[in-house]
Structure formats: C-alpha cells, structure tokens
C-alpha cells in the first residue's frame, strides 16, 4: 500500500467510525516525528471541538481559559489570516505572524505545553464553522522538515475527504432525526454545537412564521423578537452546549403587544435540553433541543414521552415508566400496568436515573414536574 492510499484509507475509516480519529491522528504524529497532531473546530462564538493527541485535559482547558482562538493572540490563526491562500502553513508563517500579536499569552501557552513548532491547514471553511488540521511539535521535535511537511500534505488531502464524508453522514443523520420530528406536534427545534439550526417540527415552523411567536430563525441562527430576548437565548444555548454547564435551561419569553415595545403578550415557555452527544462528532449532529410551549397548555402523554426520549435519550419503555413514576404510581402498580417483571422495572429505573442525572425517585418526579408541568 503506497503512502497516499494509506492515509486515504485511515481517514476514510475514521469518518465511518469516528472512534478511530484518536488512532489516526496519533499515527500521523508518529509518522512525522511530532509530539502531537490536532483537529480543531472553531465556530462563530465557541470552540466546537479540539482533539489533540497525547494532550492532558489541562492543556485543552488552558486553551479555553486564555480564549486562545483569536487571531490577535494566536499566531497559528493569525498566520492563516495573513497567508491563508497557501494550503499548508508552517514555522516561517508563524514567525511572520508573531510580530503583530497584541499579547504574549498564547506564546506563553505554547511554552507551558511545549508546542512552539508545527504546520497546519484548513480542511473546511464555511459560514460559522472552520475545521483546522495541524502538527504540534516540541522544542525537542524541532521545526518541521520538508519530509514531515510532505507526509502532512498527503494526510491533509485524505483528511479533507474524510472530514467531508463524516459531515455528510452527520447531516444525513440530522435529516433522519428531522423526519422523526415531523410526526411530533410539539414545537421543537434542533440546534448543533455551533448554534446552527438543523431541523424543526412543523409546529415550530408555524410558530416562527406567526406574528405572535417569540422565536425566529434567521441565517440558520435562533433570535428572539427583541435584543434582550436574543441575548437570553444566546446565553441559554451557550450554557447548555457547554459540557460544564446546565443540562436544561428554561426561559419565559413574551413579545411586545405593540410596535413601540409597550406591554407584553402572554409568555411562552422555551426549554433548552442538552442532547446526548456522540464522542468524536464534528459538530453537525444535534446538541440541543429547543421546545416552545404555551405557558398555559400541557402536552399529552405520548408527546411528553417522545420529548423525554429526545431530551434524555430514554427508550419508549423508559419514558413511559418515568411518566408513570411522575404520576405517582408505585412500582407494584407500574409492573402491573406495563406487564413487566420487577427485575425489568429495576433495570429500566436504573437506566432512567443514569440518563436524567437523578439519584432518587423524588428527584425524578421534581425534574419531570418542572419540565412537563
């Protein structure tokens, strides 16, 4: 197998089975004599993902702490701004970019984590999303050589194809989820990690088209009908998308009764649910379900069960059991109603607790009362 075919096969396999990305990147680092290889996704407002081989969690946390994705402090991103017409950039481009930085904070970061050298490319650049590819080298590794950059160029071509293939597969999965949403009467919008609207139910579409609605989708992004509401929506999305943030946020949003902003209509309840994430996703799968409900209306049991499935990844059986527990039925009554054994119920309840983050039945009842009440 020649080199080009080796990398084509490696990155294609990673696209089809994203759990292989770590090995594929580590293999590239080894082949080029580099300490680390990196794949990073940058959105308009946040880092979508940042995969670095042989990196301790502190390095990734430190990068976010210094807000290292800005061109005025990060010489790698600055080099892309200056010489982005070239496919692969390396240390000569970094040297040029360093002179224009407003701060040494990223240089100090590179010194702390031993990544002063390397080379890079942009695999994908589109509105609101950039995916970068890089070798990160230590002082001991030294600057990249013509040979290491030749290998990186072969991998770059293969990685471009692999990334586009995985994105296509993720978007296909989003379309399938969107098709499933079509059967739901609840007003639901799916948003990815970059804050892009991916799919919505017909009810959500009608809500946005209605003058009385409180949400709008413009350019693939969610907005409120006032600047204040938009800021609240952005904060809620950011909090739920952030792995260290909330798994659920709720807003009560109303719109002004007249064009001058006087008075308010009856508010809608807008819930933001963090969805279960697949590891090694490029960010084009749903990360948040946004559900809009009239404050005075309750959903029916079937819709509530499907919403729990969407929000927490509960199976149909688990969602039904959760609703019965929330409705006050004892476990003996549930086994009779569901015609299941005590052991089956025990396993389902354990799964419900794990998926919802609850430890006790009382917590689950309060959670569901808050979400569905």
Identify the bridge partners of residue 293 per DSSP, sorted by sequence position.
269
Find out whether 117 and 145 touch, Cβ atoms under 8 Å.
Answer: no
pLDDT of residue 136: 97
Q: What is the pLDDT of residue 103?
A: 93
- CA-atom Rg of the chain in angstroms: 24
Q: List, for the chain, all residue ranges whose pLDDT scores fall below the cut of 70.
A: 1, 44-46, 173-185, 257-266, 277-278, 295-300, 373
Query: For residues 88 and 74, is the Cβ–Cβ distance under 8 A?
Result: no
Non-local (6+) Cβ contacts of 350 within 8 A are none
Question: What is the per-residue pLDDT for 295?
Answer: 64
The helix (H) or strand (E) run that includes residue 102 is: none
pLDDT, residue 223, reads: 95
231 token code pair = 């800021």
Nearest to 34 by CA among 157, 120, 102: 120
* Residue-level pLDDT at 258: 56
Q: In whole angstroms, give the CA distance from residue 29 to residue 170.
A: 26
CA 86 to chain CA mean position, Å? 29
Structure tokens at 236: 């809620």
361-372 vs 316-326: helix crossing angle, rounded to 10: 100
Closest CA to 125 of 85, 89, 154, 94: 85
Can you tell me the distance from the alpha carbon of 172 to that of 19, in angstroms, rounded to the nearest whole number?
A: 19
Nearest to 229 by CA among 240, 243, 241, 213: 213
The C-alpha atoms of residue 9 and residue 159 are separated, in whole angstroms, by 10
Domains of the chain: 3-171 (3.30.450.80), 182-297 (3.30.450.20), 298-373 (1.10.10.10)
Tokens of 110: 């590179």
Neighbouring CB atoms inside 10 A of 116's CB total 18
Q: What angle do CA 43, 45, 47 make, to 5 degrees?
A: 50
Q: Buried (b) or exposed (e) across 151-173, using 16+ Cβ within 10 A?
A: bbebbbbbbbebbeebbebbeeb
β-bridge mates for residue 137, sequence order: 117
For helices 75-83 and 91-98, the axis angle rounded to 10 degrees is 100
């Amino acid at each position: 197998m020649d080199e080009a075919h080796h990398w084509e096969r490696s990155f294609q396999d990673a696209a089809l089975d994203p759990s292989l990305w770590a090995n594929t990147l580590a293999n590239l680092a080894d082949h080029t004599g580099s300490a680390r290889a990196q794949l990073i996704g940058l959105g308009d407002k946040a880092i979508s993902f940042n995969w670095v081989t042989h990196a301790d969690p502190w390095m990734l946390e430190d990068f976010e702490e210094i807000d290292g994705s800005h061109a005025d402090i990060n010489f790698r991103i600055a080099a892309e701004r200056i010489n982005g017409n070239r496919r692969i950039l390396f240390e000569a481009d970094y040297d040029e970019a360093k002179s224009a930085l407003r701060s040494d904070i990223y240089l100090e970061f590179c010194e702390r984590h031993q990544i002063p050298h390397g080379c890079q490319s942009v695999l994908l650049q589109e509105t609101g999303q950039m995916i970068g590819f890089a070798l990160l080298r230590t002082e001991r590794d030294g600057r990249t050589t013509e040979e290491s950059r030749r290998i990186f160029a072969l991998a770059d071509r293969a990685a471009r194809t692999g990334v586009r293939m995985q994105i296509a597969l993720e978007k296909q999965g989003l379309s399938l989820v969107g098709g499933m949403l079509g059967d739901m009467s609840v007003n639901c919008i799916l948003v990815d990690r970059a804050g892009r609207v991916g799919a919505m139910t017909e009810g959500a579409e009608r809500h946005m088209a209605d003058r009385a609605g409180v949400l709008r989708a413009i350019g693939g992004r969610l907005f409120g009908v006032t600047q204040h509401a938009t800021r609240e929506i952005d904060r809620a999305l950011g909090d739920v998308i952030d792995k260290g943030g909330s798994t659920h946020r709720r807003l009560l949003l109303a719109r002004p009764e007249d064009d001058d902003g006087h008075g308010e209509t009856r508010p809608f309840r807008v819930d933001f649910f963090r969805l279960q994430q697949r590891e090694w996703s490029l960010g084009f799968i749903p990360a948040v379900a946004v559900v809009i409900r009239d404050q005075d209306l309750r959903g029916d049991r079937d819709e509530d069960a499907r919403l729990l499935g969407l929000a927490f990844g509960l199976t149909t059986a688990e969602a039904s059991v959760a609703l019965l527990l929330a409705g006050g039925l004892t476990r003996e009554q549930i086994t009779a109603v569901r015609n299941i054994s005590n052991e089956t119920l025990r396993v389902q309840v354990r799964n419900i607790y794990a998926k919802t983050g609850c430890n006790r039945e009382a917590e689950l009842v309060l959670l569901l009362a808050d979400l569905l009440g």
